[in-house]
Structure 1
Amino acid sequence: AHSVTQDADFFADSEESPGEDCAGFGGDLELNPFDGLPFSSRYYKLLKKRKTLPVWKVRSQFEESLVNNQLVVVSATAKSGRSTQVPQWCAEFCLSAQYQHGMVVCTQTNKQQAVDLALRVADEMDVNIGHEVGYTIPMETCCSSDTVLRYYTDDMLLREMMSDPFLEQYGVILIDQAHERTVSTDILLGLLKDILLQRPELRVVLLTLPHMTKKLLRHYGSIPLISLEASPAEVVKSNCSSEDYFLSALRLVLDIHRTKESGDVLVFFASAEEVSRACSILQIESSRLRGKLDQLVPVSLCSSQRELLTEQSSSTKSRNVFLCTQQWEDVWCIPQSVSFVVDTGLQKKMVYNPRVRAYSEVLQPISLCQADIRKQLSAPSGKCFCLYSEDGLTENPPQILESNFTPTALFLKRLEIAGLGQCHFIDRPDPESLMQALEELDYLAALDDDGNLSEIGIIMSEIPLEPQMAKALLASCEFDCVSEMLTIAAMLSAPSCFLKPSSGTTHEAARCRGKFQHPEGDHFTLINIYNAFKQSQREPYITPEKWCQNYFLDHSALKTADVIRSQLMNTLNRIELPISEPSFGTKTNTCNIKRALLAGFFMQVARDVDGSGNYFILSHKHMAQVHPFSCYGAQAHKLGLPEWVVFNEYTLSENNCMKTASEISPQMFLQMAPLYYFYNLPPSESKDMLQVLLDSDGCSNCKEKTQTARMSGDANSCATATQSHDRCAIQ
């Protein structure tokens, strides 16, 4: 609540008058122009702090550029205030025009950062979150019709373009963290080039770092650049081989602590696993040093300890050591107490290989851009210790060149229907990735003979899932197993529900997981877990959190799956698809779930070639093992290993693991994917075995009708004719 009395009391003790620079583009000096209420004392207190931010030096230059140009690039570091202040100035610009051209939206690459920024900016603007300022992230929207400034994740703004391809409800679009080159950000940067031509009144602001400005200027042409010089950082080089960077970083942290210099430490490791190990080691070392030095408090930023990032007053008797990965490089809310940054210079990334349709985890050096970001986190008075040589650093590779392009291809095909022109990529996707994506959409029957989206493809694009899972969910409507497939899709879209047990509880965790394992496979096990979780919410004597803890399950992951499932259900209702009643556990339902899975994942079928768990993946001839958490890995001695499986994900790693596998019959595979079998499956011993089955009496009907369709070249009749059941596969 606003209080005029509080305002008067505040200014009685303040050197700053309430009207000084309180409005940007002609706003009222005493009333908040966004909600018409008097400013609170907190507004002026925060305003005083805001004016000390480096970005305020270029405010007038930015406002002038925004008035006179459609596109403006602002180059500034994370600690400059660009993500909080520039969007507010844009909101004032739209307010000055009475919102006749629309509101303001600012994209973020990280969903938690979008929420944190919205909360902070609402506080600074002296308005209520969810009203004048709001946010939209996957699975959560906190906006209303009155929201004039919205923080979106970049993927959610892309999804909004399916219904509003020219983003006509926005007068200013800000693309923050453009230098991170996420797939969604790159697509937005490519599409905005055409949107600006269609909407001359639209303003676009790109917030980035110096390394990215040249690329943006080449892409968009002659546009104003507002560059904010970064404060120089003190950098300390340390000779360290790539093999011992982990232990070297920990030794350095302890050396810093022994110097007794004040300030917290921020350490960048390559992966979340390394962060977890480092946290455990530092906890042990801290206990050994207790009594000799102040307390050392390791804080994993990869866990749920985000509340420690608030600007709390650090105890003089302790030093926080924040342990993180590359996801925390450009986060605006890194504590101001950080005086030391330790950078290992390495990161683990998932890179997609289109030839085998799989991701592989790669340990590689960070980019030049990332190195500069990390150095700035210690500026201006701290130190950054670099445990690497900059000779091997390169430019930041765009994620669109390292990701599966199929979901992007489906989205762009959908926008073509909406009338939006070609996407002008800053870095064009690899031709092999593009061809593989179009090929995969064609296999899924998402394209027609002209290469445009088919009716099935249009429906698939409405479902916020990967194309293969969207196709499987769509097929479940045909096979009367929608409820079960919704659960599978939600559980696979959420983070893993399995907690990693500590060393002393491994056996107990395996025993608990065994209670949920289903003999038909991992997809069915996930349904068991979700159903048990929902049942725990109705138990009067135990909380769901405690129940999850007892069974070594992640409560937040299961809650996320529940929200995703509800959203998917709403999507199916909105596009008026039939939803069958749940019948999990019946033999018919089990077969139907497998058919629905094969409708989407028929390219992910493997066969055990020797009966010992060495699986041959039919589509690209790689060998793989089932994941250790799979029911076939843990209970193989009880359940036996199935010869044929359909799996959800395959990762190139030391063991080349298949995640989430369930048993299928080869006959079912032939029935669900005859075209893929005949035309696209590479020759192998496994394909020869399928041919023998096809030639046998058991599949004579399938063989006869498939060969007829193949000779006629009628793909649709082939997909329909090959069904020996009452229903036809959606293919």
Structure 2
Amino acid sequence: MVVCTQTHRQQAVDLALRVADEMDVNIGHEVGYSIPLETCCSSDTVLRYCTDDMLLREMMSDPFLEQYGAIVIDQAQERTVSTDILLGLLKGILLQRPELRVVVITVRPMTDKLLGHFGRIPLISLEASHPAEVVHSNSDNKEYFYLALRLVLEIHQAKEDGDVVVFFASAKEVDCAQSILERERTRLGADLGEMVPLVLNPGQVGLLPFMTNQQGFKKPRRVFISTQQGEDMWCAIESINFVIDAGVQKKMVYNPRIRANSEVVRPISQCQADIRKRLSGPTGKCFCLYPEESELPAENPPQILESNITPTVLFLKRMEIAGLGQCEFIDQPDPEGLMQALEELDYLAALDDDGNLSEIGIIMSEIPLDPQMAKALLASCEFDCASEMLTIAAMLSAPSCFLKPSTGLTLEAVRCHRKFQHPEGDHFTLINIYNSFKQNQRDQHVSTEKWCETYFLDHSALKTAEAIRSELTDTLNRIELPISDPSFGTKTNTLNIKQALMAGFFMQIARDVDGSGNYFILTHKHMAQVHPLSIYGAQSQKLGLPEWVVFHEYTLSENNYIRTVSEMSPQVFIQMAPVYFFYNLPPSESKDILQGVLDPDTSRKHKDEKQKAAPISGDANSGCGATPQTYDRCVIQ
């Protein structure tokens, strides 16, 4: 069999459909595809398209990919974590399977790196078509947003044929641009024809609506508004005649020291710029809203250098068990990020004393979730709340279910969302939403689409959560873990959910230090606010702010927010967190409070010692070195 990887799931589906059509075969037979939550293949399949992460999951059961005679890695220049791992592991697989054929499709300068990585290998170069006419800005225009919108309107008013693609820096800019263009299109004269702005992500290219005028007049001009990455996928749209490129992008970069993503603004790479210039073909125009002499980085930065690699390390540990040696990365991960990942897996009891995967780590690697959520799901099987934790994991893995209302309907959306709010926190609110969605499916009073529209919820996100939950349930059944009957709403169940959450997310606990919503994060001593969409953000006056919380995500941006927040007691933290993690927390007033909960007598003794001899009281490990040995490393272990 031949397999071809893609970085976007929709691209894998589109290519499979296109090739099946050209080969005049039925999809799912000789040609098929495999993407997260959906597989369309059979025993007859000889050519399969899949996402790069799906091929990695296959390697857990077939580490040397023995069912394949040829592997095609497409879009290698995007440097996703999964693609880089595949390229690293394939180098070792080729030593074991010299008959295997590997084809890597990319653009320069990535070709030079691949030649250095794999050694003496054939290189086939395809000459690119001549780019369109390129117009650069005379200055580094910081007002690129409004300049891009003016260009769109000028192109439309000039009545030139062809669709337009506009690349902005962020999703927020994309939404704002669509809103402005929707407003402006109503002011355009009928003689100019219709202009339709469309917000699209790279993975949605295959879903583009084919729009024609009902009366048979001129087809409306489509203005595609998108963000960075996936530029080569737009080549499928032959009607594009104009490209407007802002030349900058906003990316989330992971900081291992504080276990958080931060938003950074940076120029696009020269590789991205070259692809964008060729999208409109030799007869079109590309407007680059930056000077021609601007120094752009040569290639996209590898995501493995900017992401949380804890899931990657867990996977590679699993591959070592399967017989594969060390992964030879094209770009080595950051040592600090690697150490943080190993430390986190150790805290989660996924590693044994020799640094290999423990039994818990092996089970965690089977579950297609990040390690913290996988550990929480495992713990829920012990605390008889697996049904509820499956829902939480699915809702947090799917896109946000909350729709952003149009102007004027914000208060109505808040009122509707308030009906689902649970006083214990956002994790419990997500269960309420999912259960209500499923109840409506069973009752069938109205269609699920209409129900979601009424309550300002995203129907596709909830359907995705439903599919993820089904997949996770199948995984737990396959590895023979017990799934308890639902008992959501009881006091016992509420406590059990909190214990299971804390088993995985004890590294994400915060305390309100002044009663006004200023939360102190214990692991790195940063201050943060609760996100406005949280029940504690919108309803703080009604519910009151809890002193201690567990959160799912912390992001450094314009406002430092913790998201998906639920109330948590210090007692549950002390019960579920490994003691050797607790003693590694940096000193703080909040840690002293927890120390008092753990051992009141020792806490008073240390307090007296601090007053008598402050200089020698800073080393928590020296004062309590014998204490951790009396505790298990982790309750579930």
Same fold, TM exceeding 0.5? Answer: yes
Q: Within 1, Cα distance between the matches of 2:187 and 2:168?
A: 23
Residue 283 of structure 1: aligned partner: 182
**Secondary structure of 2:39's aligned partner:** strand
Q: Within 2, Cα distance between the matches of 1:398 and 1:140?
A: 28
TM-score of the two chains, using structure 2 as the length reference: 0.93
User: Which letter does structure 2 place at the counterpart of 1:326?
Assistant: Q
Match of 1:512 among 412, 416, 425: 416
Q: 2:193 aligned with 1:267, yes or no? A: no
Q: Within 2, Cα distance between the matches of 1:178 and 1:307?
A: 20
User: Which letter does structure 1 place at the counterpart of 2:477?
Assistant: N
Instruction: Kindly provide the CA deviation profile for residues 647-706 of structure 1, in whole angstroms up to 9, marking residues without a partner as x.
Output: 111111121111101101111111111424543111011111112223338999xxxxx9
Q: 2:319 aligned with 1:437, yes or no? A: no
User: Which letter does structure 2 place at the counterpart of 1:583?
Assistant: S
Instruction: Kindly provide the CA deviation profile for residues 182-215 of structure 1, in whole angstroms up to 9, marking residues without a partner as x.
Output: 0000000000000001001100000111221111
Match of 2:66 among 168, 189, 192: 168
Residue 724 of structure 1: aligned partner: none
Q: 2:605 aligned with 1:671, yes or no? A: no
Q: Within 1, Cα distance between the matches of 2:207 and 2:462?
A: 24
Instruction: Kindly provide the CA deviation profile for residues 18-45 of structure 1, in whole angstroms up to 9, marking residues without a partner as x.
Output: xxxxxxxxxxxxxxxxxxxxxxxxxxxx
Cα pair 2:596 2:603 within 8 Å, conserved: no
Cα pair 2:194 2:220 within 8 Å, conserved: yes
Cα pair 1:522 1:630 within 8 Å, conserved: yes
Q: Within 1, Cα distance between the matches of 2:403 and 2:628?
A: 50
Residue 496 of structure 2: aligned partner: 592
**Secondary structure of 2:28's aligned partner:** coil
Cα pair distance change 1:676/1:524, threshold 3 Å = farther
Residue 107 of structure 1: aligned partner: 5
Residue 156 of structure 1: aligned partner: 54
Match of 1:185 among 58, 74, 83: 83
TM-score of the two chains, using structure 1 as the length reference: 0.81
1:236-275 equivalences under 5 Å are 236-275=135-174
Measured on the aligned residues, the alpha-carbon RMSD in Å equals 2.1
Match of 1:377 among 261, 265, 279: 279
**Secondary structure of 1:246's aligned partner:** helix
- Deviation of the 1:707 alpha carbon: 12
Cα pair distance change 1:541/1:312, threshold 3 Å = closer
Q: Within 2, Cα distance between the matches of 1:497 and 1:310?
A: 23
User: Which letter does structure 1 place at the counterpart of 2:171?
Assistant: A
Instruction: Kindly provide the CA deviation profile for residues 563-584 of structure 1, in whole angstroms up to 9, marking residues without a partner as x.
Output: 0000000000000111111111
Q: Within 1, Cα distance between the matches of 2:120 and 2:517?
A: 59
**Secondary structure of 2:313's aligned partner:** helix
**Secondary structure of 1:511's aligned partner:** helix
Q: 2:455 aligned with 1:557, yes or no? A: no
Cα pair distance change 1:613/1:708, threshold 3 Å = closer
Residue 347 of structure 1: aligned partner: 249
1:399-478 equivalences under 5 Å are 399-478=303-382
User: Which letter does structure 2 place at the counterpart of 1:266?
Assistant: V
- Deviation of the 1:242 alpha carbon: 4.3
Instruction: Kindly provide the CA deviation profile for residues 618-665 of structure 1, in whole angstroms up to 9, marking residues without a partner as x.
Output: 000010111111011111111100000001111111211111011011
Residue 295 of structure 2: aligned partner: 392
Residue 117 of structure 1: aligned partner: 15
Match of 1:680 among 566, 578, 584: 584
Cα pair 2:260 2:556 within 8 Å, conserved: yes
Structure 1 or 2, whichever has the larger Rg, is 1
Instruction: Kindly provide the CA deviation profile for residues 136-194 of structure 1, in whole angstroms up to 9, marking residues without a partner as x.
Output: 11111111111111111000100100000000000000000011100000000000000
- Deviation of the 1:713 alpha carbon: 6.2
- Deviation of the 1:545 alpha carbon: 0.5
Cα pair 2:202 2:230 within 8 Å, conserved: no
Cα pair distance change 1:504/1:302, threshold 3 Å = farther
User: Which letter does structure 1 place at the counterpart of 2:236?
Assistant: I
Residue 615 of structure 2: aligned partner: none
Cα pair distance change 1:307/1:462, threshold 3 Å = closer
**Secondary structure of 1:364's aligned partner:** strand
User: Which letter does structure 1 place at the counterpart of 2:598?
Assistant: L
Q: 2:218 aligned with 1:320, yes or no? A: no
**Secondary structure of 2:236's aligned partner:** coil
- Deviation of the 1:311 alpha carbon: 6.8
Q: 2:118 aligned with 1:215, yes or no? A: no
**Structure 1 gaps, min length 5:** 1-102, 701-705, 721-728
**Structure 2 gaps, min length 5:** 605-620
Cα pair 1:240 1:248 within 8 Å, conserved: no
Q: 2:574 aligned with 1:660, yes or no? A: no
Cα pair distance change 1:406/1:232, threshold 3 Å = same
Q: Within 1, Cα distance between the matches of 2:112 and 2:379?
A: 47
Q: 2:258 aligned with 1:356, yes or no? A: yes
Instruction: Kindly provide the CA deviation profile for residues 480-506 of structure 1, in whole angstroms up to 9, marking residues without a partner as x.
Output: 110000000000000000001112011
Match of 2:626 among 697, 707, 711: 711
User: Which letter does structure 2 place at the counterpart of 1:718?
Assistant: D
Cα pair 1:108 1:152 within 8 Å, conserved: yes
Q: 2:633 aligned with 1:730, yes or no? A: no
User: Which letter does structure 2 place at the counterpart of 1:155?
Assistant: D
Residue 613 of structure 2: aligned partner: none
Residue 472 of structure 2: aligned partner: 568
Q: Within 1, Cα distance between the matches of 2:513 and 2:65?
A: 53
Cα pair distance change 1:127/1:679, threshold 3 Å = same
- Count of aligned positions: 615
Cα pair 2:14 2:206 within 8 Å, conserved: no
Residue 6 of structure 1: aligned partner: none
**Secondary structure of 1:651's aligned partner:** strand
Cα pair 1:265 1:321 within 8 Å, conserved: yes
Cα pair distance change 1:409/1:307, threshold 3 Å = closer
Q: 2:379 aligned with 1:480, yes or no? A: no
User: Which letter does structure 2 place at the counterpart of 1:579?
Assistant: I
**Secondary structure of 1:534's aligned partner:** helix
1:623-702 equivalences under 5 Å are 623-696=527-600
**Secondary structure of 1:348's aligned partner:** strand
Cα pair 1:309 1:333 within 8 Å, conserved: no
- Percent identity over the alignment is 74
Q: Within 1, Cα distance between the matches of 2:505 and 2:207?
A: 42
Cα pair distance change 1:630/1:539, threshold 3 Å = same
Q: Within 2, Cα distance between the matches of 1:597 and 1:129?
A: 42
Residue 503 of structure 1: aligned partner: 407
- Deviation of the 1:307 alpha carbon: 6.5
User: Which letter does structure 2 place at the counterpart of 1:238?
Assistant: S
